Amino acid sequence: MKIGIFTDTYNPVTSGVVTSINMVEQEMKKRGHEVYVFTTSKSVQPNENQTLYMLKSMPLLIAKQYKNRIATFYSREVAKQIKELGLDIVHTQTEFSLGAFGKIISRKYDIPFIHTYHTMWEDYIHYITPIKGRNIYLKRIVRNFSRGFVRKAECVITPSNKTAKYLKYKCKVKNKPIYIIPTGIDIEPFKKENFTLEDKNNLKESLGIGKDKKVILFLGRVAEEKSIDVLMDSMPDIFKDYPNVVFVVVGDGPGKKSLEEQASKLNIADKVIFTGKVPWNEVPKYYNIGDVFVNASITETQGLTFVEAMAAGLPIVAKYAPNLSEFIKDGKNGILVRRNSDFKHAIINILEDKKLGNKLIDNGYITAKEYSIEEFGDKLEMLYSEIIKLHEAKKQAETKAEKNEQKKAIYKRIGEKLLKLTRLRK
């Protein structure tokens, strides 16, 4: 198959969306398929296989700290190249510029189009309006926009049940199959056995952390929706009773300055370390210095960092959210807290109770293995193949009723195959 991925966000940007796209590329190429990525200028191909096509773009003024870019909605030159490539399927990963371009290409060259809905945008409207509170009208606009974008897609992929429910019930996406396919990860780079004690101590030393210090670790985008301030509020009491503990925030983003100010006001600045942006290939090393992984965000659509932390052998403390409870089982492979004030007690319990910590680590690693890149590839490859068959069947159908019958049969078959592939690993 010749697969076209259309995305506004790509390497060297570090995000869950980019991780997901890299996994699609890696696994589909390994299976012998051709993958072509269409994205914004200033992107970087992660390897020597030059399958990257860049549209002219400019910095996005909203949340410019992320260095996001917005591309032109059409390029005659790239469209001509796409025609020569003869794509079999268009897979959009954004609702904005490159997503619009992908939809245009789909119509222009009669190529089936599917979409992965990664981000519940109403959780991010604080970047475009200073008004605090519900912002109900802006949320309604965002929901209508999301519904409108996927209207012509053959199907929609979401990384979690939470996102699927959001599209179905809040965005009112009807008569459109929504398939839940969590992004798989390659867990090998995260394993603790990849790193020596010397590696761990050297990294700690470079960050100004004593080798005997315990590390409470957050890794991810440093932004308001990640609720790192909630974690910060728990730290003074922890540090008071456990002076041998530090809080390390790995990553960068627009929330860093306010968090630094919060640490100063709480008089804990000397025990809070901000690493700034870390190159993707070095991220596994940073997990390796942690003793507890913490995250208070309830806006995650899947939460790949939790799976990475599990693969790295870290016990997890997280804020309860329906999508997280799909794979984090409280007291078994992680701790889910209901109230912000519970973070302190949960973290201390893990630091004090070695038996509990080891239980969470062992079960967490089992969970991480279930989110394999191989299963992700199996599901995606099957979906691509079935949607291509559906597209051909619809073209050959002589009546609308026949076309609808083909759609119903193939959509049902996809659902059954996804369920079977999930059961196989259980």
Alpha helix segments (H runs only) across 197-333 = 197-206, 228-241, 256-265, 283-288, 304-311
In what helix (H) or strand (E) does residue 6 lie, and over which residues does it extend?
strand 2-6
Each residue's pLDDT tens digit, 269-323: 999 999 999 988 899 999 999 999 999 998 887 788 999 999 999 999 999 988 8
Predicted local confidence at residue 130, as pLDDT: 56
Mean pLDDT of 21-30: 94
24 Cβ partners below 8 Å, 6+ apart? 3, 5, 35, 91, 380
Q: Which fold does the domain 188-367 belong to in CATH?
A: Rossmann fold (3.40.50)
Name beta bridge partners: 247: 216, 272
Locate tokens 């009546």: which residue?
Answer: 399
In what helix (H) or strand (E) does residue 3 lie, and over which residues does it extend?
strand 2-6
Predicted local confidence at residue 121, as pLDDT: 84
DSSP string for 333-369: TBEEESSTTHHHHHHHHHHH-HHHHHHHHHHHHHHHH
Predicted local confidence at residue 281, as pLDDT: 87
Predicted local confidence at residue 50, as pLDDT: 60
Q: How confident is the model at residue 199 (pLDDT cuts 50, 70, 90)?
A: very high
Higher pLDDT, 25 or 64: 25
Q: Does residue 63 register a pLDDT over 60?
A: no
Predicted local confidence at residue 120, as pLDDT: 86
DSSP string for 17-55: HHHHHHHHHHHHHHTT-EEEEEEETT---SSS---EEEE
pTM beyond 0.85: the answer is no
Phi, psi of 11 (to 5 degrees): -55, 140
Share of the chain above pLDDT 70, in %: 93
Other beta carbons within 10 Å of 186: 15
Predicted local confidence at residue 38, as pLDDT: 96
Q: Does residue 3 register a pLDDT over 80?
A: yes
Q: How confident is the model at residue 136 (pLDDT cuts 50, 70, 90)?
A: confident
Each residue's pLDDT tens digit, 318-361: 999 888 988 999 999 999 999 999 999 999 999 999 999 999 99
Q: How confident is the model at residue 192 (pLDDT cuts 50, 70, 90)?
A: very high
Each residue's pLDDT tens digit, 384-409: 999 999 999 999 998 999 999 999 99
Torsion of CA 372, 191, 10, 325, to 10 degrees: 60
Each residue's pLDDT tens digit, 317-326: 999 988 898 8
Q: Does residue 61 register a pLDDT over 90?
A: no
Q: Do the Cβ atoms of 378 and 399 come closer than 8 Å? A: no
CA gap 104, 73 in Å, rounded? 9
* Averaged pLDDT of the chain: 91
Provide the angle, in degrees to the nearest 10, between the axes of the packed helices 304-311 and 16-30.
70
Q: Does residue 62 register a pLDDT over 70?
A: no
Q: Does residue 71 register a pLDDT over 90?
A: no
Locate tokens 């519904």: which residue?
Answer: 147
Q: Which of 45, 25, 27, 35 is nearest to 2 (CA)?
A: 35
Higher pLDDT, 175 or 387: 387
Beta strands in 16-170 (DSSP E): 34-40, 52-55, 57-59, 69-71, 89-92, 113-116, 155-158
Name beta bridge partners: 71: 57
Q: Does residue 127 register a pLDDT over 70?
A: no
In what helix (H) or strand (E) does residue 374 lie, and over which residues does it extend?
helix 373-396
Locate tokens 């196989």: which residue?
Answer: 424
R_g of the chain computed on alpha carbons: 22
- Arch. (CATH architecture) of 2-185: 3-Layer(aba) Sandwich (3.40)
Each residue's pLDDT tens digit, 26-40: 999 999 999 999 999
Q: Do the Cβ atoms of 336 and 216 come closer than 8 Å? A: no
Predicted local confidence at residue 133, as pLDDT: 55
CA gap 254, 223 in Å, rounded? 6
